[in-house]
Structure 1
Amino acid sequence: MSVNHDQENGLGSDGHDKDSRDGFIALAEGFRRRFAAGAARRDSQRALPHEEIQALRQSGLLSMRVPREYGGREADLVTFSRVIRLLAAGDPNIAQAIAPQFANLEKLRLYGTPAQQRRYFDLALDGAMMSNAAAEREGVFIGDVATRLVRDNGIWRLRGRKYYSTGSLFSSIILVTAQHEEGGRAAVFVPVDRPGVTVGDDWDGMGQRTTASGTSEFDNVRVDEGEILRIPAYGHRRTHEGGFAQLIHASIDAGIALAALEDACAYGRKQARAPRESGVGGATADPYVLHTVGEMAIIAHGAETLLERGALLLDNALRAEWAGGAESDRLLGEASIAVAEAKYATSEAAVRVSEMIYRIGGASATSAALNLDRHWRNARTHTTHDPVAYKARAVGDFYLNGALPPINTKI
């Protein structure tokens, strides 16, 4: 797919950062409205958003983090977070389905060879979408990997099965995490249509139903040397990778909270009724409805503010990381703490605000036709990705003891 990046994506051609930021946000806002119009139907019918994903691919948004030196517009992390939040407010399933694209591009920037960076950044600029296949059901701990990359008669082969493969039914390339036979881990760029690759549609979670997060299998799949991305062991050095991934998840959670707030207000204006003993003429004047909506807004917007702070600090730390400054380790650690605060707050906001809808409407709000419960189901499902208790612990250790978070990809 070829994309005209100056005309078709609506971002302008002068290259100024402000123009790019405004263009990204305007595009995302348009998609938010479009996605929201069909989100309830897609959830209830479990209809995968193929057309919506295709529109995103053609828009240029999926390449918004490609570095400038490779022809990209390299959105700053505050803008990036806002875009993901807007898309998630429209439909968090779509935001989650495209999330691996951005995590993969950051991995490529951190660990790829110049040839790999040129190859896959160019593909992203041309509209390619990359998903991932990392998590497995087996193993003692979360994150244990049994999938293996082995050499067979001089040819690299990938063998394994992944339980979560988010977005893979929409993508052209899957980045597969595997144990490398020479030691350590690798991330392997595997074309979806390569012989031996099977992508299933068996995701049956109660929420985030249309993320295409099913099982993928890799049966002796041939892999070229240039498709293998070697990943350093945890603790090798501190990078922005973990904070970046958490920023995406926090942005999605914030989007869910804001969407639930918007639907609650719409329901309160159009359908909710006040009890007779309230002494008022309608729900919009009911003091307890007003209190509930106010509390929902405070929770959602408080989390949104922490998210913006985390994105800003991570962006500043990222610039130091690329510059190679001596202070980059400290800045990255402090930014990770800020993102952890945001992740905790947005997780709590998504679950709590989406549940509070029912304080406004009572039993009528539970109608399947309205499908308001999708907000809570989406929130409860998406927030299981990482135990936020570990975020709070890391934050507490930082403020109480001055300890930076451990060097890994989770905090």
Structure 2
Amino acid sequence: MTLNTSPSRSPATGYDGTDATELLLRSQQLAEAFARDAARRDLERIPPRAEIRALADAGLLAARIPAAYGGPEVPVPEFARILINIARGDANIAQAASPVFANLEKIRIYGTEAQKRHYYGLVLDGALLTGNAAAEKGGKHLGDFSTVIRPDGDGFVLIGAKSYSTGTLYADYTLVTAITEQGGRAAAMVPTDRAGVTIIDDWDGMGQRATASGSAVFDGVRLVASEVIFIPDYGRRRTYEGGFAQLLHSAIDAGIAWAAIEEGMQQARTASRPLPEARVKRGTDDPYVLHTAGRIVIEARAAELLTLRGAEFLDLAIRAFYQGTPEANRLLAEASVAVAEAKYATSEASLHVAEMIYRLGGASATSRAVNLDRHWRNARTHTTHDPVDWKARVVGDYALNGTWPAINTKV
């Protein structure tokens, strides 16, 4: 079977050989640009196509590609800072683009050498592997999938439907999780313009409105063998896949908290009025406004530092994983716990901070024009991905009983 495996949308530019320091600077610059129109994009549900293209052109989507394959291999702590910056600019953009990072790590863990060279090369050249299609349409029970990959001549055929296919509407390729006819796990890197692929823009969440988290249908999509990644040891070998995915969510939530603080404080500086009882001339001198400002900064800072701490644990564990050192499993378990702590903290901080900013700006902060409520809506929507009570349970079981997290893709 011969199929066109290149995207029909020609990529522009990609990674240009810059290092982690330069990529971090670029993420800050782009975040500032993204923030300028973030409120309007949310209000009007404007797809951030140009912004995601800008991330690719700046080389940021290639941040974690290993040096052995021509990438910058940005260490996980610096990478977490990059993603926090992007989410600080616009959490929609960060979430819509973030599947590429999970996809590339999945390829690194499970892919063949040929698959690594091929897909890393595509991203380095600027292609968008930003699609993710993992959540089964109609739900998933105890790991059972309805999406299946079946042999078809010298290739395969993909059949199924997915919900919450984040980023797929903007992507050249989407990673689709499935089972084989024998019941094993697999993933397919599917060009989004392939016959049989239907991407439906039906995401109607109250927050993260422009993440393209709609449905996707795969109706007899033909695949060549190199597009299928088999995962024969799923659930039996401890990896960092789940911890890395949770770190992405933590970084996005941390970015939401900082975005809310920045805009809430700007609203306080420009529009708040002091109560007469405060006996001050400016709202920003009200002692209770100052108390609120300090409290939410401390919460956001603590959550961010826990995220960076989790990233440091994860970076150490990933190196041990690929070196095959004897302590790799222990380090992977410890990293999962550290990231679970970060996920709990960032979930709580993003929600609380996004609610508390109204104590800074007062009634003027509720104006539809400034759209400050998008921060709470983004946080509330994004933090429902994984119930944080399960994160606390994992942390508690490890602290009390020394129990390692289960081998799965969530912690």
The normalised TM-score by structure 2 is 0.95
Structure 1 residue 233, shift from structure 2 partner: 4.6
List runs of 5+ in structure 1 lacking aligned partners: 12-19
Q: Using structure 1 for the length normalisation, give the TM-score.
A: 0.95
Q: How many Å apart are 1:155 and its aligned residue?
A: 4.5
| Maintained 8 Å contact 1:264/1:293 | no
% identity of equivalent residues = 56
Q: Choose 200-209 or 223-232, whichever is displaced more.
A: 223-232
Check whether the contact 1:24–1:79 (CA below 8 A) recurs between aligned residues. Answer: no
Q: Is the 8 A contact 1:158 1:221 kept in 2?
A: yes
1:140–1:190 distance in 2 versus 1, CA, 3 Å: closer
> Tell me, what secondary structure is at the counterpart of 1:216?
strand
In 2, are the aligned partners of 1:135 and 1:143 still within 8 Å (CA)?
A: no
Q: Which amino acid aligns with 2:20?
A: R
- List per-residue Cα deviations over 1:247-294 (Å, max 9, x = no partner): 100000000001111111111111111111221111111011000111
Q: In structure 1, what is the Cα distance between the partners aligned to 2:23 and 2:155?
A: 42
Where do 1:36-115 residues align within 5 Å? 36-115=35-114
- Equivalent residues of 2:80, 2:248 under 8 A apart: yes
Where 1:409 maps in the other structure, the secondary structure is: coil
State the alpha-carbon separation in 1 of the partners of residues 230 and 140 from structure 2: 24
In the alignment, the residues of structure 1 paired with residue 196 and residue 69 of structure 2 have an alpha-carbon distance, to the nearest angstrom, of 32
Q: How far does residue 153 in structure 1 lie from its aligned partner after superposition?
A: 5.3
Give the Å deviation of 1:183: 2.5
The question of whether the paired residues in 1 share the 8 Å contact of 2:172 and 2:191 is answered with yes
Greater displacement, 336-345 / 354-363 = 354-363
In structure 2, the partner of 1:272 is: 272
8 Å CA contact 2:84–2:252 kept in 1: the answer is: yes
1:75-111 deviation line (CA, Å, top 9, x unaligned): 0000110000000000010000111101000000000
Matches within 5 A, 1:295-334: 295-334=295-334
- CA contact under 8 A between 1:135 and 1:145: conserved in structure 2? no
Partner residue, 2:247: 247
In structure 2, the partner of 1:157 is 157
Residue pair 2:256, 2:375 contacting (<8 A) in 1 also:
yes
Aligned to 2:150, what secondary structure does the other structure show? strand
Secondary structure at the aligned position of 1:169 is classed as helix
Residue 151 of structure 1, CA deviation: 2.5
SS in 1 for 2:188: strand
Map 1:356-395 to 2 at 5 A: 356-395=356-395
Q: Distance in 2 between matches of 1:309 and 1:225?
A: 39
RMSD over aligned CA atoms reads 1.4
State how far apart, in whole Å, the 2-side matches of 1:298 and 1:58 are: 35
Question: How many Å apart are 1:179 and its aligned residue?
Answer: 1.4
Offset, 1:4: 6.4
CA distance in 1, matches of 2:12, 2:371: 38
- Aligned CA distance change for structure 1 residues 144 and 210 (closer, same or farther; 3 Å): farther
How many Å separate the matches in 2 of 1:331 and 1:129? 32
Q: Which amino acid aligns with 1:265?
A: M
Distance 2:156 2:114 in 1: 19
Q: Distance in 2 between matches of 1:64 and 1:147?
A: 30
Quote the residue 1:226 is aligned against: 226
Corresponding residue to 1:3 among 13, 33, 36: 13
Where does residue 16 of structure 1 map in the other structure? none
Deviations 1:8-35 (A, max 9, x none): x7x2xxxxxxxx2210110000011000
- Contact 1:320 1:328 (8 Å CA) reproduced: yes
Inter-partner Cα distance in structure 2 for 1:220 and 1:145: 16
Q: Are residues 1:167 and 2:177 paired?
A: no
Distance in 2 separating the partners of 1:40 and 1:232? 44
Give, in whole Å, the separation in 2 of the partners of 1:335 and 1:256.
23
- SS where residue 210 of structure 2 aligns? coil
C-alpha distance in structure 2 between counterparts of 1:43 and 1:139, whole Å: 27
Letter in 2 for 1:29: Q
Deviation at 1:359? 1.4
Q: Is the CA contact (8 Å cut-off) linking 2:15 and 2:56 kept in structure 1?
A: no
Match of 1:22 in 2: 21
Structure 2 CA distance for partners of 1:240 and 1:140, relative to 1, 3 Å: closer
Amino acid at match of 1:247: L
Instruction: Please list the CA deviations of residues 165-209 of structure 1 after superposition, one character each: whole Å capped at 9, or x if unmatched.
Output: 111111101111111113211100111111111111111000000
Partner of 1:396: 396
The residue aligned with 1:180 is 180
Tell which deviates more after alignment, 164-173 or 132-141: 132-141
Distance 2:154 2:396 in 1: 50
1:204-259 deviation digits (Å, cap 9, x = unpaired): 00000000111111111111111110124543111111110011000000000011
Give CA-to-partner distance per residue, 1:307-333, whole Å, 9 cap, x none: 111101110111111110000000110
**Paired residues of 2:64 and 2:101 also in contact (CA < 8 A):** yes
Take 2:139 and 2:207, find their aligned partners in 1: how far apart are those partners? 25
Counterpart amino acid of residue 403 in structure 2: A
3-state secondary structure, aligned to 2:406: coil
Residues 253, 346 of structure 1: 8 Å contact kept: yes
Aligned CA distance change for structure 1 residues 155 and 116 (closer, same or farther; 3 Å)? closer
2:261/2:297 contact within 8 Å kept: yes
- For 1:316 and 1:164, the matched residues in 2 are separated by 31
User: Is the CA contact (8 Å cut-off) linking 2:15 and 2:57 kept in structure 1?
Assistant: no
Structure 2 stretches lacking a partner, 5+ long? 1-10
| Aligned positions, number | 400
1:33 paired residue number? 32
